[in-house]
Amino acid sequence: MHSVETRLKELMLASLAGDARSYAVLLNDVAKHLRVYFLRRLAESHKADADDLVQDTLMALHAKRATYEIDRPFTAWLHAIARYKLIDHFRRNKLRITVPLDDAEDLIPVDYSDVAANRMDVESLLQSVPEKSRELIYRTKIEGQSIAEVATSTGLSESAVKVGIHRGIKAIAAKLKGRAHGNG
Amino acid sequence: MATDDLIARLARDLKPVPRSSVAKRVAIGLGLGFAASWLLMVWWLGMRPDLMEASATMPFWGKLAYTLLLAVIGAWAVKRIAYPLGSIVINLILMAVALFAFGILAAGIFAMAPPQDHYGMLTGKSIAVCTFNIVLLSMPLLIAAFWVLRGLAPTRLTSAGAAAGIAAGAIGSVIYSFHCTESAMPFVAIWYTLGVLIPGLIGAVAGRFFLRW
C-alpha cells in the first residue's frame, strides 16, 4: 500500500520536473489501476466505457497536473480526479449514481493480482490459531495496535507478545500449506 | 492499444510545471478581470469627482477595507477550490464573520443616529442602482474567475462557482467604491453586501454548467 503511494509519488515528482520517461511509466501504472477502478464501478452493461474513462482521466491528469500539491498523497489526488470523471460519466449518461463514497485506498487495492487471496476469510483462518495468539494477532495485525500497546493492555512483556504472534503466524502458515495441498 | 498511444503522446507533450503555477493562474486571471472591470467603471460610470477629498475621510476607507477584506477572502476561496477535493468552508466562515461584524457596526451607527437620518442611511441617493451596478461590474471578473477555474481541477462545481462569484462581487465592489459617493455604513452593509452575494449566487448556479471538465 505505502510502497505504491511512495513509488507513484516519486514518479509524479519527477514528471512535474519534466522527466518524460518517469511520466510514461507513471501513466502506464496509473492506467492499470484506473482500469480496475472503473471496471469495478461500472454496471455490466457499461463495462465498455472503462477504456474511455481511463483515457479521459489520463488526459485530465495531464491537463490538471499543476493542481497536484507535492506535500499531499498522490493517490488521494488521483482518486479525486478519477471519482470526478466517474460521477461526470454517470451524470452525462443520466445514470443513477450508485458509487459508494469510497476512500482513496479503493483506487490502489493491496494486491489485485490475486483476488482469491484477498477473499480468504481471515476470521476463519484465525480460528485455527490457539486463542492466546489469536488475540495478539488480531490486535496487532488487524486493529493495528503496536506491540507496546498490546503488551501494556494484556500485561505480557513485549517479547512474550512477539513470541505469541510468531507462533500464531506459524500456525496459519501451516494451515495455508495444508489447504493448498488439500485443494490440489 | 489506443491508451498506449495516448500515454506516448502525453509523455511527449510533457513540460515541467513550476510549483506556484496555480497561484499564478489565479493572480493573472483575477488581475485581468480587475483591469477589465476597472475600465468598465471608468468608461461607464466614471470616478467619483470628489475622490481627493473623500480619501481623507473615514467612510471611504471603511468601505474600502470592508470590500477589500471580502475580496481577499474570495480570491483565496478561488485558489482553494481549484484543487481536487478543495473546499471553501473556511472562507465562507470567515466571510460570515466579516459580514456579521460589519453588520453589527452598521447597526450600532444606525441606532445612534437621530431618527430623521435613518431613512437616508439606508437608501442613500443611489439605492436603485448600487447593487445592480456592482453586479454588472463584477461580470468581467466572474468570467475571468471561471476561466481560472476551468484550467484547474475543482471537483465541487457549485462551490467553485460560488467562490468565483463571491470573489468577482467583492472585487467588483472594491472597484465600485471608487465611483460611489455613499458614505453611510448601514447603506454599505446592505447594498454592497448584496452586490457580493448576488454574483456569488449567479456563480453557484452557473458553476455546474460552465465549470465542467
DSSP string covering B38-69, please?
A: HHHHHHHT---TTHHHHTTSHHHHHHHHHHHH
Contact map slice: B 91-150 vs A, CB within 8 A? none
Runs of H (alpha helix) within A17-73: 20-41, 50-63
Q: Do A28 and B7 touch (CB under 8 A)?
A: yes
User: What are the grid coordinates assigned to B186, written together?
Assistant: 448601514
Is the separation of the CB atoms in A86 and A99 below 8 Å? yes
Whether residues A58 and B22 touch (CB distance < 8 A) is answered with no
Best residue in A12, A19, A27 to probe B by mutation, most B CBs within 10 Å? A27
Q: Which residue has the cell 443616529?
A: B113
Q: What local confidence, expressed as pLDDT, does residue A122 receive?
A: 66
How distant is the Cα of B61 from the closest Cα of chain A, in angstroms? Answer: 36
* Closest C-alpha among B203, B91, B200, B95 to residue B147: B203
Query: In which element (H, E) is residue A109 found?
Result: none
- Domains of chain A (ranges plus CATH)? 2-113 (1.10.1740.10), 120-182 (1.10.10.10)
| Exposure b/e, B19-49, CB count within 10 A at least 16 = b | eebbeebbeebbebbbebbbebbeeebeebe
Q: A60, B213: Cβ pair inside 8 Å?
A: yes
Number of Cβ atoms within 10 Å of the Cβ of A147 = 16
- Terminal Cα-to-Cα distance of chain B (whole angstroms): 24
The alpha carbons of chain B give a radius of gyration, in whole angstroms, of: 20
> Quick check: B14 contacting A, CB < 8 Å?
yes
**Which residues of chain A register pLDDT less than 50?**
1, 111-119, 183-184
Å from A41 to nearest chain B CA?
19
Query: Rounded to whole angstroms, how far apart are CA atoms B87 and B79?
Result: 10
Q: How much is the pLDDT for A118?
A: 47
Cβ pair A51:B213 closer than 8 A: no
Closest by Cβ to B10, choosing from A17, A27, A77:
A27
CA dihedral B103, B104, B105, B106 (to 10 degrees): 50
CB contact under 8 A, A31 and B3: yes
Q: Which residue of B has its CA nearest to A27?
A: B7
For B:17-46, CB contacts with A below 8 A are: 17, 19, 21-22, 25
Running DSSP on this structure, what letter comes out for residue A124? H
- What letter represents residue A32's amino acid? K
Query: How far is the C-alpha of B133 from the C-alpha of B121, rounded, in Å?
Result: 19
Sign of CA dihedral A163, A169, A173, A174: positive
CB of B80 within 8 Å of a chain A CB? The answer is: no
Size of interface A-B (CB pairs under 8 A): 74
Residue among B144, B169, B143, B137 at smallest CA distance from B37: B137
- Nearest 10 degrees: CA dihedral of B49, B53, B58, B63? 20
ipTM (interface predicted TM):
0.87
Mutate to test the interface with B, among A15, A23, A67, A79 (most CBs of B within 10 A): A67
Quick one: pLDDT at residue B169? 98
Residues of A within 8 A of B210 (CB-CB) are: none
Share of chain A above pLDDT 90, in %: 41
Q: Which residue has the cell 493572480?
A: B27
Q: Can you tell me the distance from the alpha carbon of B127 to that of B121, in angstroms, rounded to the nearest whole number?
A: 10
- Contacts with A84 from chain B: Cβ below 8 Å: 84, 153, 155
Closest A-chain CA to B10:
A62
CA proximity to A106, closest of A36, A32, A160: A36
Q: Which pLDDT does position A121 carry in this prediction? A: 62
Measure CA A14 to chain center.
23
Contact B2 A55 (CB under 8 A): yes
pLDDT in single tens digits along all 213 residues of chain B: 689 999 999 999 999 999 899 999 999 999 999 999 999 999 999 999 898 888 888 889 999 999 999 999 999 999 999 999 999 999 999 999 999 999 999 999 999 999 998 988 888 888 878 999 999 999 999 999 999 999 999 999 999 999 999 999 999 999 999 999 988 899 999 999 999 999 999 999 999 999 999
